[in-house]
Structure 1
Amino acid sequence: MLYEIVHQAQGVTLPSFKEKLRYWGERISALILIPMAIVFYLILNKWVSGDWFRFLDYQQENWGNSFSYFATNIANIVERVYSWEIRLAIGTWLPTAVIFFVALAIILYSINRLPISYTAYSFAYLLISYSPSWLLSAPRYMLALFPLFMGLALLSQRYKRFEKVLDISLVLLLALYSIFFFQSIVF
């Protein structure tokens, strides 16, 4: 009450209840969007198969995949780089291992430069994405992690040489992996 009286005396108008409701409604709606999508997916599983988590059984049965500790999975991925057939090592395991550490470095760089919600989301997304025990699609999953691109933009803006090195590296990797693909070296 005193707060309102002081601000009204200074000519400052306070937001109305409707404005406050709209302000908080937009933020809460954005906040619950991802959990609601997960709930919807679980409800869909229950409706289709009769079990909320039947998708986990399908992953285990068809691909031998389960949800496990991300650090163990990363250790297994790095081990596969050295011990598996060269095409899988170069085409799958090496990019998967490298992208984890690159993404982690970008997230750490972004901590005080991006909103904390983006950083927290990035950490959670990275760890959950690297939790499947037989992870083949991590580079593709990281393409959906939008704060990584913001972090790369911040790095490029701050370090002009980094931008040039990044551009050249990406073009060379695209050319190299295109050659590998056409020579059937990678899948």
Structure 2
Amino acid sequence: MPAYITIFQYAVAAAGTVLFALCLVFSVKSGIKYFKEPEEALVCRESNLRIFARSLLYVLLLKLALAILGAVVTGKGFGMEAAYAWNRWDAPHYIDIAKDGYVATGENSVFIAFFPLFPLLMKAMSFLTGEYFIAGSIVSMLCFAGALFYVYKLVFRDYGAKTARRSQILMVLFPTAFFATIAYTEGLFLLLTAAFMYYLRQRRLWAAAVLGFFAALTRSVGVMLVFPFGVQVLLDALHEGGGARKIIWRIVRRGWKVILIPLGTVVYLLINYAVFGDALHFLVAQREHWSQGMCFIGYTLRVLTNCVFTRDIRLVLELFLPELIAIFVVLWLLLGAARRKNSVMMAQALPLYYMSVSVTWLLSAPRYMLPVLVIYPEMALRAKSRWAFAVVCVLMAAAGIVLAGVFVGGGNVY
């Protein structure tokens, strides 16, 4: 490999690492500002029914656009055959789990790497639909609408109605939002994460902890919600003042509920043990079947950059280049968000981002960026004018059309 390519790889790795470190530094500073001057939450007067109706309408419009795109790309029209063109990659695995549960032998034994809550909900919905893929898609769409509802409520409390509405639109237009309308975990995880953050910011800690438990049963990164929970409890305890003993007592009295979140992961580990006799068997499946393991973010960036120069051009355009773009665009947005008084939101965003990106063989970075909730108000705040907002929407919609078209057409979008 030419020396300049090697140098470029390390430069990309260093740039990503430095940007992430800066996000951490600015987040700590914003936490100090929050401690000194807590935010004044705005009160939303719009009815919950109206907000949810608008959220559901956005999801239905997105699904209609995707149906048209699928009909054009596949040439199969609008029937069930066209609908099943979206049943690709992870979706069939969730269907197999919903049908048969986890199994210890055969090809399906590797599906222990997928968490149980979504296939369980898919199984329940299948009693109404009579089959599984449509059941999973319905679950995802309803959850996505719920996620948009809570994103509106969450953003409104900090920035008002205009930014909240724009944040909803930006989430719907996000290039990988189509995953939240099919039998993937994206819709469910978005709902649980957005609702968790909303109730946490409302100081309804029991509700947040329960939602965190279910998030940890949905995705491996769900357990990262312990960080925003802890930061919120800590900052509130510090702001109320008093001696060290009082502060520690407040933290313990309110914060012990956080144990519910990792309990979701414990339940998943117990399933591993019940099926395989090994609580950590999912790591074996991830490593041997998907070449997945945790690593340093710089390593991931170096591998992706190497793939851009050495892999087939189709793979580069469909997979590796979009991954690098997604990683750095979201890092750029996080850097801006960290400068605002978003300490609790950043405590959700940064651990989730890092755990999602820092894997040895990354295939789904654009999809993993969806639950990084702070990026939507950040984009809305940066695109202040109507023209700027329209340009951002057009660019994201265009990227979404390309990625969704490649996905439904059989390409390498994961």
TM-score under structure 1 normalisation?
Answer: 0.73
* Matching of residue 171 in structure 1 with residue 364 in structure 2: no
Q: Check 1:25–1:89 CA distance in 2 against 1; reply closer, same or farther (3 A cut).
A: closer
Amino acid at match of 1:75: R
How many angstroms does 1:98 deviate by? 0.6
Alpha-carbon shift at residue 176 of structure 1 (Å): 4.2
Q: Structure 1 unaligned segments of length 5 or more: list them.
A: 1-22
The answer to whether residue 359 in structure 2 is matched with residue 132 in structure 1 is: yes
Match 1:111 to one of 316, 332, 338: 338
Distance 1:178 1:116, change over 3 A: closer
1:71–1:179 distance in 2 versus 1, CA, 3 Å: same
Q: Residues 112 and 177 from structure 1, CA distance in 2 versus in 1: closer, same or farther, beyond 3 angstroms?
A: closer
Pair 1:147-2:374 in alignment: yes
Paired residues of 1:77 and 1:97 also in contact (CA < 8 A): yes
Alignment correspondent of 1:72: 299
* Length-normalised TM-score, structure 2: 0.36
Query: What does residue range 77-116 of structure 1 map to in structure 2 within 5 Å?
Result: 77-113=304-340, 115-116=342-343
Equivalent-residue separation in structure 2 for 1:27 and 1:170 (angstroms): 33
In the aligned structure 1, how far is the partner of 2:375 from the partner of 2:269?
28
Call closer, same or farther: CA 1:141–1:161 in 2, change over 3 Å: same
Matched, 1:46 2:273: yes
Deviation at 1:165, TM superposition (A): 2.0
Give the Cα separation in 2 of the matches to 1:147 and 1:34: 21
CA deviation string 1:138-167 (max 9, x = no partner): 1111112222223222223x3544312211
Alpha-carbon distance in structure 2 between the residues aligned to 1:179 and 1:62: 27
Give the residue type in structure 2 aligned to 1:162. A
Q: 1:123 aligns with which of 327, 345, 350?
A: 350
Q: Check the 8 A contact 1:65/1:132 in 2, yes or no.
A: yes
Q: CA offset at residue 86 of structure 1?
A: 1.0
Q: Does 1:63 align with 2:290?
A: yes
- If asked which structure has higher relative contact order (CA below 8 Å, sep 6+), I would say 2
In 2, distance between residues paired with 1:112 and 1:43?
41
> Runs of 5+ in structure 2 lacking a partner?
1-202, 213-228, 230-257
What are the superposed Cα offsets for residues 69-94 of structure 1, whole Å, 9 maximum, x if unpaired?
A: 12111111122112100111011111
Q: Quick check: 82-91 or 26-35, which moved more?
A: 26-35
Superposed CA deviations along residues 52-111 of structure 1, whole A, max 9, x for unmatched, are 221110111112222211211111112211210011101111111111111111111111
- Structure of larger gyration radius: 1
RMSD: 2.8
1:131 to partner: Cα distance: 1.6
1:115-157 alpha-carbon deviations (Å, 9 max, x no partner) = 312112211111110122111111111112222223222223x
Structure 1 residues 176 and 117: alpha-carbon distance in aligned structure 2, compared to 1, 3 A threshold? same
Aligned residues: 164
2:263 aligned partner, one-letter code: M
Q: Percent identity among equivalent residues?
A: 26
The answer for the alignment partner of 1:18 in structure 2 is: none
